[in-house]
Amino acid sequence: HLSGSIDRLVLVLADGIPVAADVIDFKTDAAGEAAAARTSYFEQLRHYVRAVSLAYGIEASAITARLAWLATGNVETLPVP
């Protein structure tokens, strides 16, 4: 059992039906992209993508996952299998 909160979820609808999504997780680490926990952040986003896929019936390939590094202002799009 896992629990967590998606910081920002943007659903794309077609005729009221979710067809795509953008999952955004904001990170406040002072080290930004160089943070030691970077790999665990990727895994966290993969879990979020799976949850959104199951909850809304959206193919994982139609879901974009992003890390927004607040310390550096960079936004990183992660590859989703």
pLDDT of residue 3: 85
Say what the pTM is.
0.86
Q: What is the pLDDT of residues 44-62, one digit of tens each?
A: 999 999 999 999 999 999 9
Beta strand ranges found along the chain (DSSP E): 8-14, 17-27, 63-69, 75-78
Q: What is the pLDDT of residues 4-17, one digit of tens each?
A: 899 999 999 999 99
d(CA 71, CA 23): 19
